[in-house]
Every structure is written in structure tokens, then in C-alpha cells.
Amino acid sequence: MVNNYSEDNTIGVVEGFADRRIRLENFRNHGVIAASRNRGIALGRGSYIAFLDSDDQWYPAKLEHCLAKLDQGFDLVCHGERWLGESCDREVFYGPEARASYQSLLFDGNCISTSAVVVRRQHIEAVFGFDEDLEAITAEDYDLWLRLARIGARIGFLEEILGEYRIHGGNQSKAVLRNMDAVTFVVRKHLATINLNTFAHRLRSRRREAIIYYSGARGLQDNGEHWEAWPYFFRALTTWPFLAKFYVAPLLNALHRRLV
């Protein structure tokens, strides 16, 4: 367990287990969660890596079911989660497998959740772990899935709810816009490594840019920040006006409502 010098009773709780298998590493990440994850990976000894942020939860059968899926020839498995928050309680499923190819992840967006992942260590090490670049913060996981897909890791999904992901409020618009900038950074980094000279790739790149704007607008809309969402809905529409959802969400935004 990697502890970023939290001010709660983390140390006392861990010591209370009195279990030699549980190791606590106090590590100051200076706001870069990728550094904490990489530290945990470096200290780990097992053949598989799984992630659990401090306020998320795993259900008892998580590892058993994920390892059974990995034994079917997969290198990374992602299960469903229950999202919990002040105004949210819903089941979310990721994937499907066809959406987890490198091209699809790059041009259509992320479809994997970090706390829902179990992955083979050898593949994490093959791509040198998480990117600790400051510009990737909040999208470092997306970048990792892209790099794993690029080296041919087989990614599978379980249609089971095996954990909980907690959604927080506070500084909502800043968090949404920061994530939008981070995703933009990751996408541009990967686009720089492929051939965009083809007409099809240029179109897909423009569509991806529009989806990033749309996702930012939706995030603001979901937070009730309807006025702040308008510039990003407009950018999405002017960048790529060919997706129906780009029109439905702004109409609901005008009514101070959101897509379910």
C-alpha cells in the first residue's frame, strides 16, 4: 500500500491488521498519482497488478473472477463498477472488447476504469508503467491503456459489478477542464507517433478532438454548470457536426437538464 502521507489513521489501520503480507510505503507523490502507482508496482512481487484508490472498494469475488478471465488468455481484465456520489448511484460497465484496440481507444476514447483493472505485471513493465508527466495528470491511466493496446495486450471485460467507484464534488469545473486538457495531451502525444497523412486519419483526428470538447461539456453539464458547458458544446459542434448526440445534449442543457 502506497500512502501519500495522508492525515487520517491509515498507518494505524494497516498496523492493526498485523499481516506481514500487507506492506505500507509512505511516499510523497507531490500531486502526481502516477508516481505513487509506479512506486507500488516497483515494490510489488506478484505476477498481476491491480489498483485501488483510497475511497474505492473491491467486492470479495473481484480477484477470483478477474484471474479466471485472465486465465482465458487475456492480459488485462476490467469489470463493472457501482458509481456512488451525492447525486449518483448507478451501475457502469466498460468495454466491449472491440472498443479496446489501440485505434479505437485513441480515436473513440477510454473505456477502461483503473480501480476495475487487473493486469499482468510483465505488460506493465514492458511499457515502463504510468507516464509521470504533469500534463497527463488525471489521464495517465488512459495513456497506459493506449500503450498496452499498442504492444498487443489482449484486453477483456467482465459484465459483473465487482467494486465501487466514488464520485466527489468540489472544484468541479476545474476538475472537468483539467481532465479535458490532460486527455488532449495524451491524444496528441499518440497522434504524433502515427501517420496522419491519410484522409481517413485526419477525419478521425478531428472527430476525436470534437469528442474531447463534448466530454468536457457533458462533465460540466452533469455538475449542473450549464452556462460553463456552452463554449465546449459549441466547439464540439463546429469541429465535428456529424454526431447526433452533439445536438441532443445542448438542447437538454438549455433546459438545465442532462443526459441519463
Binned at pLDDT 50, 70 and 90, residue 4 comes out as low
Residue type, 30: H
Architecture of domain 46-166: Alpha-Beta Complex (3.90)
Q: Is residue 110 over pLDDT 70?
A: yes
pLDDT (tens digit, 9 = 90+) per residue, 150-189?
999 999 999 999 999 998 765 578 899 999 999 999 999 9
Residues 117-140: what's their mean pLDDT? 97
Residue 23: pLDDT band with limits 50, 70, 90? confident
**pLDDT band (50, 70, 90) for residue 256:** confident
pLDDT level of residue 200 (50, 70, 90 thresholds):
confident
Q: Report domain extents, the chain.
A: 46-166, 195-254
Half-sphere exposure of 20 (CA within 13 A, CB side): 0
Q: Over the chain, what is the mean pLDDT?
A: 91
Give the separation between CA 50 and CA 163, rounded to whole angstroms: 12
Look at residue 15 and tell me whether its pLDDT is greater than 80: no
- For the segment 62-88, the average pLDDT, to the nearest whole number, is 94
At CA 158, angle to CA 24 and CA 77, rounded to 5?
Answer: 50
Quickly state the pLDDT bin for 260 (edges 50, 70, 90).
Answer: low
Query: Terminal CA-to-CA distance of the chain, rounded, Å?
Result: 36
pLDDT for 243:
95
User: How many angstroms separate the most distant Cα atoms in the chain?
Assistant: 61
Per-residue pLDDT of 26-70, as tens digits, reads: 778 788 989 999 999 999 989 999 999 888 999 999 999 999 999
Query: What confidence tens digit (pLDDT) does each residue in 203-244 have?
Result: 999 999 999 999 999 999 988 999 999 999 999 999 999 999
Residue 86, pLDDT score: 76
Q: How confident is the model at residue 119 (pLDDT cuts 50, 70, 90)?
A: very high
**159 three-state secondary structure:** strand
Letter for the amino acid at 190? H
Residue 169: predicted pLDDT:
60
CA pair distance 143, 131, nearest whole angstrom: 7
